[in-house]
């Protein structure tokens, strides 16, 4: 043939040599076998998984957790492990050391958070009261007042098996931080129910001002109690959620926006009252401390005076006892000495001395520093 023929034309030509049919089948068979082997290797290698230091893993095999002889799920600790690949085994990793926070702000929705939807509802002739009743939820206090509240629940998972069994594991993820996890949604509902129950027993003043400190502790107690659901099939009679609540904090507690200005005035008045109360208490403490100091000073002075008078009395008694002994030993001499001492004491400042005896009068003029009773005599 003078013209060149293409490859397709040569293969289509009846005169062209044909490849054996068996060789084509064998080549395709080898390719399929190689592909199947590669897929099998990849499938088997997918069974390796890593467990972090703050996690434990539970293996689910054909819908059942691998269990120990006592019926508890096998908890796989930190490290590299292997499981039969999907769909035979499924590994659920649960963080047991990480502290997580659940934000319960369903009762603190502001109009800005649903402004677009609010506008759409207004266009459909819904009233503001109807929209607020549905999309601006609130808590009702014991005195029939309305309050908005935002609470933060701090918790960690202490029972991975109970946490996984709380909700059907086939329909949700196992991440406690995933807001779409049905377990997280269930925990959110439990916390909201506890808030409704607890605030319904508080006055508005307690919910906004005085009771927030006590509310943290009582809210934690209410949530823990709400999580222990009655279950007759459980050995303990309670359906445990597998969560340990470590604390509850009231992030914000506020009145409705429509009456916020009035509550701001109440808050300002309360602040002024507290400031005046603190000033009065400070003045009271200062006065009490001053009075206590004066009292202690007077007590010390009285004690010193009593001690001084006691010592003086004891000294005089001691001297009297000595004089008494001298008098008993020598009455005349002691009587004269007492007379001289009395004269010195009485006449110490006298400048002129009159001595009267029957039938005579004696006048003695003396200078007190030079006076000597022993030198006085009749003239």
The full set of domain ranges for the chain reads: 44-93, 99-255, 260-329, 330-375
Residue 378: its pLDDT value, please? 47
Given a cut of 70, whether residue 229 has pLDDT beyond it is no
Given a cut of 80, whether residue 122 has pLDDT beyond it is no
Residue 2: its pLDDT value, please? 42
- Residue 100 pairs in a beta bridge with 155
- For residues 93 and 51, what is the distance between their CA atoms, to the nearest angstrom? 7
Distances (CA, A) of 66 to 82, 163, 165: 14, 16, 13
User: How high does pLDDT run on average in the chain?
Assistant: 77
The predicted-structure confidence for 305-337, as pLDDT tens digits, reads as follows 999 999 999 988 888 888 888 888 888 888 888
| Portion of the chain with pLDDT greater than 70, in percent | 74
Given a cut of 50, whether residue 102 has pLDDT beyond it is yes
Secondary structure of the chain as H, E, C letters: CCCCCCHHHHHHCCCCCCCCHHHHHHHHHHHHHHHHHHHHHHHHHCCEEEECCCEEEEEEECCEECECCCCCECCECCEEEECCCCCCEEEEEEECCCCEEEEEEEECCCHHHHHHHHHHHHHCCCCHHHHHHHHCCCEECCCCCEEEEEEEEEEEECCHHHHHHCCCCCCCCCCCCCCCCHHHHHHHHHHHHHHHHHHCCCCHHHHHHHCHHHHHHHHHHHHHHHHCEECCCCCCCEECCCEEEEEEEEEEEECCHHHHHHHHHHHHHHHHHHHHHHHHHHHHHHHHHHHHHHHHHHHHHHHHHHHHHHHHHHHHHHHHHHHHHHHHHCHHHHHHHHHHHHHHHHCCCCCEEEEEECCEEEEEECCHHHCCHHHCCCC
Q: Which of 13-27, 223-237, 331-345 has the lowest mean pLDDT?
A: 13-27
The predicted-structure confidence for 182-224, as pLDDT tens digits, reads as follows 778 888 888 888 888 888 888 888 888 766 677 788 778 888 8
* Average pLDDT rounded to a whole number, residues 79-103: 87
pLDDT band at residue 172 using 50, 70 and 90 as cut-offs: very low
* Average pLDDT rounded to a whole number, residues 228-248: 72
pTM of this structure: 0.54
The predicted-structure confidence for 243-270, as pLDDT tens digits, reads as follows 888 888 888 888 877 777 777 787 788 7
Which positions ≥6 away from 51 have C-beta within 8 Å?
57, 76, 77, 78, 79, 80, 81, 93
The CATH code of domain 99-255 reads 3.30.479.30
* Average pLDDT rounded to a whole number, residues 92-119: 79
Task: Decide if 160 contacts 94 (C-beta within 8 A).
Answer: yes
Given a cut of 70, whether residue 230 has pLDDT beyond it is no
The predicted-structure confidence for 365-379, as pLDDT tens digits, reads as follows 555 555 455 555 444
* Average pLDDT rounded to a whole number, residues 151-157: 89
Distances (CA, A) of 337 to 100, 345, 374, 377: 101, 12, 11, 17
The predicted-structure confidence for 69-78, as pLDDT tens digits, reads as follows 888 888 888 8
Given a cut of 70, whether residue 22 has pLDDT beyond it is no
């Amino acid at each position: 043939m003078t013209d060149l023929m293409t490859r397709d034309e040569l293969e289509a030509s009846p005169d062209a040599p044909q490849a054996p049919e068996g060789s084509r089948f064998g080549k395709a068979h080898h390719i399929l076998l190689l592909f199947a082997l590669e897929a099998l290797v990849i499938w088997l290698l997918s069974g390796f998984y890593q467990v972090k230091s703050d996690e434990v893993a539970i293996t689910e095999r054909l819908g059942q957790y691998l269990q120990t002889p006592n019926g508890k799920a096998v908890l796989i600790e930190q490290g590299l492990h292997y499981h039969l690949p999907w769909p035979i085994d499924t590994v659920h990793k649960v963080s047991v050391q990480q502290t997580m926070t659940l934000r319960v702000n369903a009762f603190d929705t502001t109009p800005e958070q649903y402004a677009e939807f609010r506008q759409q509802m207004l266009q459909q002739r819904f009233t503001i009261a109807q929209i607020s009743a549905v999309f601006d939820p609130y808590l009702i206090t014991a005195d029939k007042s309305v309050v908005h509240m935002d609470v933060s629940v701090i918790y960690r998972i202490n029972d991975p098996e109970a946490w996984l069994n709380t909700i059907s594991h086939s329909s949700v993820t196992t991440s406690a931080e995933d807001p779409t996890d049905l377990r997280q949604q269930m925990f959110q509902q439990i916390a909201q129910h506890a808030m409704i129950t607890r605030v319904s027993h508080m006055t508005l003043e307690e919910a906004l001002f005085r009771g927030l400190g006590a509310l943290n502790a009582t809210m934690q107690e209410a949530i823990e109690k709400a999580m222990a659901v009655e279950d007759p099939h459980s050995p303990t009679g309670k359906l445990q959620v597998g969560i340990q609540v470590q604390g509850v904090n009231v992030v914000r507690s506020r009145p409705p926006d429509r009456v916020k200005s009035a509550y701001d005035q109440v808050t300002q008045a309360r602040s002024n009252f507290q400031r005046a109360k603190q000033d009065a208490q400070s003045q009271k403490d200062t006065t009490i401390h001053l009075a206590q100091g004066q009292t202690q000073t007077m007590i010390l002075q009285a004690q010193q005076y009593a001690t001084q008078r006691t010592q003086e009395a004891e000294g005089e008694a001691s001297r009297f006892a000595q004089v008494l002994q001298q008098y008993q030993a020598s009455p005349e001499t002691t009587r004269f000495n007492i007379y001289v001492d009395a004269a010195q004491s009485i006449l110490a400042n006298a400048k002129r001395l009159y001595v009267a005896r029957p039938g005579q009068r004696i006048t003695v003029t003396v200078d007190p520093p030079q006076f000597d009773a022993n030198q006085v005599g009749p003239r």
